[in-house]
Chains A and B, each alone.
Chain A
Amino acid sequence: MLFHSFTFLALLIPTLAIYWLSRSQTIRLAALFVASMIFYAFHHWPSAFLLLGTIGLNYSAARLQQRRRSRWLLALIVIIDLSLLFWFKYAAFAAAELKRAAALVGLALPLPALSNWLPLGISFFTFQVIAYQVDVYRGTVGAERSLLVFAVFKSFFAQLIAGPIVRAKEFLPQLHKRARFDPEQFHLGLFLFVAGLALKIGVADVLRQFADEAFQSPAELATTDAWLNLYAFAFQLFADFWGYSTMARGLGKLFGLELPLNFNLPYLSSSLQEFWRRWHITLSSWFRDYVYIPLGGNRSKHTRNLLVAMTAAGIWHGAGWTFVLWGLLHGLWLVIESALKRRFASPLTTASPLRGTAAAALRRLLLFHGVCLLWVLFRAPSLPVASTYYARLLLPPYRGHSDVPETLAIWLIGFALLQAPLARVMERDRFFPRSAWAQAAITWLLLALTLGYAGQRYDFIYFAF
């Protein structure tokens, strides 16, 4: 079920009504849980059993952990959770690669063909429960006593499929407290939902057509088209995931629940480190807290830790060498950036004649283009396609194309300029001081964009991860 569908509205409205009309927190949570299971099972009902199974397993393991703190128990439950993720997401890829490697040395491995069943959101909810198990082990949070509360924590539909990856410490207390209807929270929730919808339908899905076409046959692209379509993908990906996260936050607010911010204008970052603090914030902080820091962080073997964490982040996004390489290159870039930072304290502001605003703008521009170049690996279906795309971007023959589609040009420029004002208007402190007329006018601008470009419904990109 997609957020941008009437089917979802038909589920949301009665759930909201039951939630706010009920005085019992148990009924409220039960309503949320049932709605979440319907939401999840609607796409592929057998996956719901997997979700229920992992809820039961992780609930019991955490309760055990609470009673008898055990490193082995933690290792066991993490291995089970990761095994499920591996089986559903990576086993087919690993088997195919194994077969290929064996064939190179003349062996024919009799591996069975594996199913392509990838339960929606498995990467997100697996990471959510691993964080929970580690937190319980560390004593940062207590193991949840109520199975219903734990089930809602793990399955709440707003964040189930594509995040944000909610931490137990932030979310469980909210589920325990019976929220009073807060009109202001509801008000902002409605607006955020509309804004996310517009980002998805009016921006991401419009840019999608250009990016999809370009990556289908990159060999024929003119140099200018290759770059423009890469920008289209960069903005599509951002608008798609930012839109989803914004809708998720809006939905949370409609139920009086606060979900964390997942994007904070990442393309306006001036270093890669800053970029990862602004892009998919809950995933980046997950890798920081549960991979990078436990490995030693910047205290020991900093380079190795960064490379491992970023390569793991790459693999998390998908089963394929393109993702591995994408993560590894991000890791390398972070290592180089960190070394440069230590060697020259902010070189562009102190040593360079380009100081202040100009230097910041240049750094942002360079960062954006660097990130775009790595998006090629993220989007390309295979390494050969990625290398063809890189050739069209960087190598001769340099061909220009004067006939740039009007929509592409306007959307790229428009989104580049309007992303910051749009992010600002979504902030509580900036939204509420506006008059009802201004709020409604902005809402209708976003709704008009959504209505105008509403047509075929596309999945959110991160559903695939």
Chain B
Amino acid sequence: MRGTPARNLALYLVVVAGIGLSLEAACRRWQTLFLAASHRSLFKAALLERRLPQDIVFFGTSRTGEALRPRAVLSALADAGAPPLSAFNVSTPFSSLDILQSVATRFAGSSGLKLAVVEISHQQLGRGDLPWAAESTTPSADFHARAFSWLETHSALVAERKVFVLNSLSRLMLVSLFAARFDGTEEFGSDYLASILGRPRDVERAQAQPISCLPRPIDAPPASLSEFRAERDIYVQLARSFQEHGVEVAFYVPPALDSEHAWETGPPYRELRASIHAVTGRPIWDFSECHLPPHLYRDATHLSAAGGSYFSRLIASAIAADPRLAQALGMRQATGAAHALP
């Protein structure tokens, strides 16, 4: 650097300030995108945003991420006589009920959406504040905390600083450049790479012998819920927000490897499902007692790629078997081959 030391210092400060102001402007201009990169649920939502309109959207936790594979569902629906449709899996690992509500409400009114399939599971019932919501400063907070909070409120760069976290930078790149390549089932870097290269991690036909796996019938509604009242209300509210926009909604309970991990078979969960079904009138496909062969699982509660492809077909046949859903998707008629292995 040439020039006098004073000039060099001034120039350095001006350039640093200039870059800072440019970053601030960029954060303000693309605040939604930057925010989307900072959390996996918002990232998934941003991917879906770029893939709209979609006919079918799957909502849930990582269990749905593995269990419902859009290509497999669409292929099975096409076999059942559905017209060309589109689908996206907007589920995210560690999704709480509050995250589910936030994401589902955001897309309930999306044009073109015909069917939402929503997970009900032990994991999905977890509660918690939205991770991306700004933390409020407590009155006892020290000067540092209050100053930081003030900056977060007044500077988009500070508010969206999580975009500089390594994961966020890669998400920013993925959502900006390759959103059209993903169907939402990607979880790891290798999955995204495979999808970018046009070789998604799907298994078209599961190599399995025919398995009878029928959803468990929903119980009669209880007089009152012993647990999960608030959770039931959220599910009901969620169903209503879809229905208000003319979107069909169906719930499902994913399968587990063994009865030890099938928490959803417990009475409070059964009561919850019965209550949701009674209030909303929407179908609930309960696969909690359906234990698929071990090779179709990645772990006790997550299906493998093959398991996901297989289970997706089960869900597709459940959709096709429901006249109201089939009609919403423009299918000719229910196939009547519900729940059999496709």
List the interface of chain A (C-beta within 8 A of B).
Answer: 5-7, 10, 182-184, 186-187, 190, 406-407, 410, 432-437, 439-441, 443-444, 447-449, 451-454, 457
Q: A436-B12, A452-B161 are in contact. Are A410 and B166 (CB under 8 A)?
A: yes
**Cβ contacts under 8 Å, B163 to chain A:** 452
Interface residues of B (CB under 8 A from A): 1, 4-6, 8-9, 11-12, 14-16, 18-20, 23, 142-144, 147-148, 157-158, 161-168, 189
Chain A residue nearest to B6 in the complex (CB)? A183
Q: Contacts A186-B9, A440-B12, A451-B158 known; A435 to B144 CB distance under 8 Å?
A: no
Tell me the bound Cα distance from A335 to B5 in angstroms.
48
With A5-B144, A187-B12, A439-B12 as given contacts, are A406 and B189 in contact (CB-CB < 8 Å)?
yes
Q: Shortest distance in angstroms between A299's beta carbon and chain B's nearest beta carbon? A: 47
CA separation between A437 and B16, bound complex, in Å? Answer: 8
Bound state CA distance, A182 and B16, in angstroms? Answer: 19
> Cβ of A5: which chain B residues have Cβ within 8 Å of it?
144
| Chain A residue contacts of B20, Cβ below 8 A | 444, 447
In the complex, are the beta carbons of B1 and A452 less than 8 A apart? no
- For A6, the chain B residues whose CB sits under 8 A away are 143-144, 147-148
- Whether A187 contacts B8 by the Cβ 8 Å rule is yes
Known: A6-B148, A443-B16, A457-B144. A451 touches B157 (CB 8 A): yes
Smallest CB-CB A-B distances: 6 pairs: A452-B164, A6-B147, A440-B15, A451-B161, A184-B5, A183-B5
Secondary structure at the B interface, as helix, strand, loop or mixed, is helix
How close is B26's CB to chain A, nearest CB, in angstroms? Answer: 12
Q: How far is the CA of A70 from the CA of B158 in the complex (A)?
A: 59
A436 and B8 contact, Cβ closer than 8 Å, known pairs A410-B166, A451-B164 = yes
A442 shortest CB reach to chain B, Å:
10
- What distance in Å separates the Cβ of B27 from its nearest Cβ neighbour in chain A? 11
CA distance A184 to B142 in the complex (A): 35
A13 to chain B, nearest CB (A): 12
List, in ascending order, chain B residues with CB within 8 A of A435's CB: 1
Chain B residues positioned under 8 Å from A432 (CB to CB) = 1, 8
Contact call A444/B16, Cβ cutoff below 8 A: yes
User: A186: nearest residue on chain B (CB-CB)?
Assistant: B9
Q: How far is the CB of B16 from chain A (nearest CB, A)?
A: 5
Residues of B within 8 A of A452 (CB): 161-166, 168
Contacts of B144 in A (CB 8 A): 5-7, 457
Query: A454 contacts B12, CB within 8 Å?
Result: no
List B contacts of A406 (CB < 8 A): 166-167, 189
Residues from chain B with a CB closer than 8 A to the CB of A449 are: 164
18 contacts between A and B (CB under 8 A): A6-B148, A7-B142, A7-B144, A184-B5, A184-B9, A406-B167, A435-B1, A436-B8, A436-B11, A436-B14, A439-B15, A440-B16, A440-B18, A440-B19, A444-B20, A447-B20, A448-B164, A452-B164
Chain B proximity of A184: nearest CB distance (Å): 4
Residues of A within 8 A of B15 (CB): 436-437, 439-440
Which residues of B are found within 8 Å of A453, using beta-carbon distances? 164-165
Query: Can you name the residue of chain B whose Cβ is closest to the Cβ of A194?
Result: B16
B9 and A183 form a contact (CB under 8 A):
yes
Closest B-chain residue to A449, C-beta based? B164
For the complex, what is the distance from the CA of A153 to the CA of B148, rounded to whole Å?
33
CB closest chain-B residue, reference A437:
B15
In the bound complex, residues from chain A placing their C-beta under 8 Å from that of B23 are 444
Query: In the complex, what residues of A have CB within 8 A of residue B143's CB?
Result: 6-7, 10
**Chain B residue at smallest Cβ distance from A182:** B5
Q: Are B19 and A187 in contact (CB under 8 A)?
A: no
**In the complex, what's the smallest C-beta–C-beta distance from B162 to chain A, in angstroms?**
6
Contacts of B165 in A (CB 8 A): 452-453
Residues of A within 8 A of B158 (CB): 451
| CB closest residue in chain B, given A434 | B1
Tell me how far the C-beta of B333 lies from the nearest C-beta in chain A, rounded to whole angstroms: 47
Smallest distance from the beta carbon of B136 to chain A beta carbons, Å?
Answer: 16
**Known contacts A436-B15, A444-B19; is-contact A183 B161 (Cβ 8 Å):** no
Bound: A6/B143 CA distance, A: 7
Residue of chain B at shortest CB distance from A407: B166
**Chain A minimum-CB-distance residue to B164:** A452
With both beta carbons as reference points, the residue of chain A lying nearest to B163 in the complex is identified as: A452
CA distance A10 to B18 in the complex (A): 23
How far does the Cβ of B163 sit from chain A's closest Cβ, in whole Å? 7
Q: How far is the CB of A179 from chain B (nearest CB, A)?
A: 14
Q: CB-nearest residue of chain B relative to A185?
A: B5
